[in-house]
Structure 1
């Protein structure tokens, strides 16, 4: 809860020149906590003090940075200082005193009050300000609640920096992380690629200084692979199914948005229509406009996903236009997060076990996820002419989450065979340049950031969207050479199916058909 009762103590500490709770602790805080600890009988005798330190070491996994003193008061001052330096030490002390049959209720109330001050040094907070100041997120209240670990109501904030300042006056979370660090982690997951990298780097530095790397790593895993936790994510899935007549497709769409149960997946199927590719562009425009109108008040972002057969994976759907009849049409891939999905894998049940197992493994340890680049410069990157080696590598290593293909997966090409191997081995993400380039280096010759994007699997969709936006924001002459203009991302989550096993062509299943 908000610590409004602590205002007078905080004001006194500021007058005394006290520093923030986990950032060094002022003498006023140390004296106040030491006086409270003096009321614990087991901390008065040298023998029981030594036992308390051993119990704390058991909880921490290492001896606490506290020396024994002949004078109890000196010992208590050093113990108080250590606890104010690190929330894990404070938590270990509570556990040790409880084991010694001390009543720690009053001590807990006091330390809750003491630790209601900002958890990080002012200088460190100021280095963060440029990354948060003016950064407004539609789901900011929800991020604050999740960062605070059970906080139900928060005051309105204009941007992420004002929210950070407000949360800095809250207690540390049960896992020991300052609420502000948890908030930065949640914001990093929502931020564009470069900003997200900078926010995580800032958090890493604070966690290292506070001995909270394990706690931060655990939270980062939860944040990275929380399945659609934010109520602002809406999905429009478009299936393009080839018909017998050349150049014609059966277009079917699904929509999903459930703000009341954001972790659920219940896509509603719409009616199907027969289209050419040119007509498909206009039909997608209509579907996007309807989704925008229906979700205008609630949805933060709309993901547009195209379910395509193996022979159509390279269709330039991310370059479909919207506002087609206006003087200045816009690109679908700039305003929306556009990816493709594999109909072939969706309809090949024997591949699903590897797909789900790899997704589960990557979800548990996202920090270990790594990419491969076909023909890339790394010593681990597979050669383009050695597909059996690629197959063996992918089957034996579930930490590989993304593959950069050597070229577009057009039928009867080596790149198509690379994609087929990756799909049947369960990789959730494939990336390629839709142009006919001879080496994967051609994909990144204008922008090496793509290599960095490959290592951030949870943020890959947003990073590709940002790169596409940059491509359209550049000069007309350089736009066609910008990698973002040609980049295609296949991103396939096995927990979000749209259909069960059906033939790749055949009669329409009807609205609601599975």
Structure 2
């Protein structure tokens, strides 16, 4: 695509022996004064594949800046195809386990509701783009998978075994340099009340440890995966989160005490809120307002009737951190609460739920509008 139509005819008697020689010949091809050199076009196309190491991509972009006639004509195009340039991700080399549970009318009619379950593993977010670069995302099998589908039906009672099954599959993708994966649950509204973070996982040592004490566990609304009308507002608010990632959470969070969803909607829209602390567990209508107003970050306690601790004080202390540190701070609170459960000691870490809606961290999708 970067060569003149007659280039291969010129090379017929002297085909290059190496990739280096091909690049050298591309560099030697004459072109119009105002046209980009063939080698520059080649590097531009290479960047658009998105399937190159992050550091190499940075070096190639710098090379384009130094060698292209009009670098600005090329770099905005390449960056539009790269997740890494669309937004300065807070932890872009972090591995993720994505687990989606979706309700189905067919299965909800049963006495015990079952859910469609899918799971994916992203070893390195910096080498992943949910629209254009799926190669570095691994589709995980489910125990009853037939080899053709990555989606099966399970009850919540089976979820602990299912999570163990997913985590066991990550072993073959593990690297020494990888940190522990963060676990992201995409859930329908009714399941956002379920304490997934307290599901106990047994390793080979047979010790039951809550998954939220061992891993950073965050929640997402499955609503935002399909035909979400408020994508633009969501992206704008997430950019604000990124721009303020070094500031203290307390400066960005709106403390909300509305029980009426209409009042909450009006308040969030007037404030143009980007992060919310709810004073009690949200009902379904409140969760719908959160999605409707495209709030990226929401924190709440699953219970607030503590007898021995001041939960509001504890929450303010938790939020006295940079906003990009909040997921790990929530994990720390859950870990600190773990040994207290044996003696039934109160701790906010038993009851913390964090909605963390990163619009760039999604399961792989095909954008049919870009296909030709």
TM-score interval, normalised by the smaller of the two chains: 0.5 to 0.7
User: Quick one: distance in 2 between partners of 1:446 and 1:320?
Assistant: 23
Which one of the candidate residues 235, 240, 257 is aligned to 2:96? 235
RMSD between aligned alpha carbons? 3.2
Query: Using the alignment, how far apart are the partners of 2:312 and 2:256 within structure 1?
Result: 17
- Of 266, 278, 284, which aligns to 1:392? 266
User: 1 CA distance for matches of 2:121 and 2:268?
Assistant: 33
CA distance in 2, matches of 1:462, 1:418: 25
1:268 pairs, out of 134, 138, 148, with 138
Structure 2: where are the runs of 5+ without partners?
1-54, 60-86, 141-149, 367-372
Equivalent position of 1:277 in the other structure: 156
Q: Quick one: distance in 2 between partners of 1:292 and 1:330? A: 19
Separation (CA, whole Å) in 1 of partners of 2:122 and 2:325:
21
**RCO (CA 8 Å, sep 6+): is it higher in 1 or 2?**
2
Whether 1:226 aligns to 2:88 is yes
Query: Which residue of the partner structure matches residue 319 of structure 1?
Result: 198
Q: How far apart are residue 389 of structure 1 and its match?
A: 3.5
| Superposed displacement of residue 292, structure 1 | 4.1
Name the SS of the counterpart of 1:313 in structure 2: helix
Matched, 1:373 2:255: yes
Tell me how far apart the structure 1 counterparts of residues 287 and 308 of structure 2 sit (CA, whole Å): 16
Offset of residue 326 of structure 1: 5.1
The TM-score with structure 2 as length reference comes to: 0.62
Any conservation in 2 of the 1:430–1:490 contact (CA below 8 Å)? yes
After TM superposition, give the deviation of residue 470 of structure 1 in Å: 0.2
Deviation at 1:493, TM superposition (A): 0.3
After TM superposition, list the pairs within 5 Å mapping 1:126-137 onto structure 2. Answer: none
Between Structure 1 and Structure 2, how many residues are aligned?
261
Higher helix share: 1
Say which one has the larger Rg: 1
Please list, as runs of the form range in 1=range in 2, the aligned pairs for 1:171-320 lying within 5 A after superposition: 226-229=88-91, 231=93, 233-243=94-104, 244=107, 245=110, 246-258=112-124, 261-262=126-127, 264=129, 266=134, 267-270=137-140, 271-320=150-199
SS of the residue corresponding to residue 498 of structure 1 reads coil
Q: TM-score, normalised by structure 1?
A: 0.46
Stretches of structure 1 lacking an aligned partner (at least 5 in a row): 1-144, 151-224, 376-383, 410-414, 502-514
Question: Residue 292 and residue 408 in structure 1: after superposition, are their counterparts in 2 closer, same or farther (change >3 A)?
Answer: farther
The 1:350/1:241 distance shift into structure 2, 3 A limit, reads same
Question: What does 1:331-350 align with in structure 2 at a 5 Å threshold?
Answer: 331-350=210-229
Question: Which residue in the other structure is 1:448 paired with?
Answer: 313
What's 2:288 paired with? 420
Who is 1:196 aligned against?
none
